[in-house]
Amino acid sequence: MNQGTVDVVVPTNRVSRFLPAALASVREQRYPLWRIVIVDDGSGAPEELERLASDLPSTTVIHQQHAGVSAARNAAIRSGSGEFVAFLDDDDLWPPERLGQLVATLQASPDAAGVFGNGRYIDADGRVFGQWTTKPATREEFLSRATPIPRIVALLVRRSALERVGLFDERLAFSEDDELILRLLRDAPLVSSMTVVVDYRRHDHNVTRADWRARHRSARAAILANIASAHQFGHEEQVTLLQRYLRRQDAWTAEGSAGRVIGDLKARRFRAAALDLRDSVRIAPLGFLRGAIQTVVSKLRSRVRRRRS
């Protein structure tokens, strides 16, 4: 194992117009010990990826038939030998201090499986339009979703932790990152750097804009897999915490769909509204009601502010 080295995992199933900038943000890191592994997940343009890699130091490309993001990330992890592993999507950016800050924080916390930071949202032109913060929390708070878990793109993980808990579950279409993070948390704490470590790009081609029902099914499967595993190993306290996580995840999903239903009604998309309403109420009726109330109150407040101005 290469002590102090970070293996940067970059899966791609396309040659994104944002990929050169994403790779350049690694090259511009002030922390010098890194190696990039680009996984060509059936992009159809292997020569272009090889050309991009040739312009960067310590960069290799793995070519494979399209098998999904989990298989691509796993291939990159297996090919590496760095002490740490980080995950960069092909359209995101890293601030120059990212790796140095995360490595220093993790080295100061020898019992932790990984370290996470916060992030900003950027649009297709790189303009910042929002941010997210993941609060520092105990394992129990994360495992019960009292505090939302970190995002994989804001995480630096010890390779030794991945060797203990296993890699990404390639059967999951979505939420494969959350499923792995829950396994890491069941094994050891995650600590916070309290710094912005990624600019997460939102644009028209983001894979994360998938059908909410499919995402919810995968999220439940990820949580249930961890519940089953915890039960198998006799970790009943973790089972109880993860059952709370599942209830809170259901409520959060139903709450978020309330705004979608109200928007569909306003746009006279009555069939879509009816289907979303039916499925949301089945998932968590109180969560949907809470979301509907919050949406209506927010719209009323906005209307009042506009009238006053």
Instruction: State the DSSP string of 246-294.
Output: HHHHHHHHHHHHHHHHHHHHHTT-HHHHHHHHHHHHHH-HHHHHHHHHH
Q: Name the residue with higher pLDDT: 206 or 200.
A: 200
Claim to verify: residue 173 and residue 297 sit in the same structural domain: no
Does a structural domain hold residue 206? no
State which of 141, 172, 201 marks the end of a domain.
201
Type of residue at 114: G
Does a structural domain hold residue 132? yes
Claim to verify: residue 224 and residue 172 sit in the same structural domain: no
Question: Parallel, antiparallel, or unpaired for β 190-201 and 155-158?
Answer: unpaired
Claim to verify: residue 148 and residue 27 sit in the same structural domain: yes
Does a structural domain hold residue 166? yes
Claim to verify: residue 176 and residue 67 sit in the same structural domain: yes
Does a structural domain hold residue 182? yes
- The predicted-structure confidence for 145-163, as pLDDT tens digits, reads as follows 999 999 999 999 999 999 9
pLDDT band of residue 309 (cuts 50, 70, 90) is confident
Q: In this structure, what CATH number is given to the domain that contains residue 33?
A: 3.90.550.10
Does a structural domain hold residue 52? yes
Tokens, residue 134: 């993941």
Claim to verify: residue 135 and residue 220 sit in the same structural domain: no
Which domain range does residue 68 map to?
A: 2-201
Query: What value, to the nearest 5°, has the Cα angle with vertex 301 and ends 295 and 306?
Result: 125
Does a structural domain hold residue 66? yes
Claim to verify: residue 178 and residue 252 sit in the same structural domain: no
User: CA-to-CA distance for 25 and 120, rounded, in angstroms?
Assistant: 15
- The predicted-structure confidence for 69-94, as pLDDT tens digits, reads as follows 999 999 999 999 999 999 999 999 99
Claim to verify: residue 18 and residue 143 sit in the same structural domain: yes
What residue has token string 């990820």? 222
Claim to verify: residue 228 and residue 106 sit in the same structural domain: no
Claim to verify: residue 62 and residue 31 sit in the same structural domain: yes
The answer to whether 245 and 145 are in contact (CB under 8 A) is: yes
- The predicted-structure confidence for 280-304, as pLDDT tens digits, reads as follows 999 999 999 999 899 888 888 888 8
Name the pTM for this structure.
Answer: 0.92
- Total number of domains in the chain: 2
State which of 147, 166, 201 marks the end of a domain.
201
State which of 145, 170, 201 marks the end of a domain.
201
Claim to verify: residue 150 and residue 275 sit in the same structural domain: no
Claim to verify: residue 194 and residue 233 sit in the same structural domain: no
Does a structural domain hold residue 155? yes
Does a structural domain hold residue 277? yes
User: CA-to-CA distance for 81 and 119, rounded, in angstroms?
Assistant: 27
pLDDT of residue 78: 98
Claim to verify: residue 47 and residue 185 sit in the same structural domain: yes
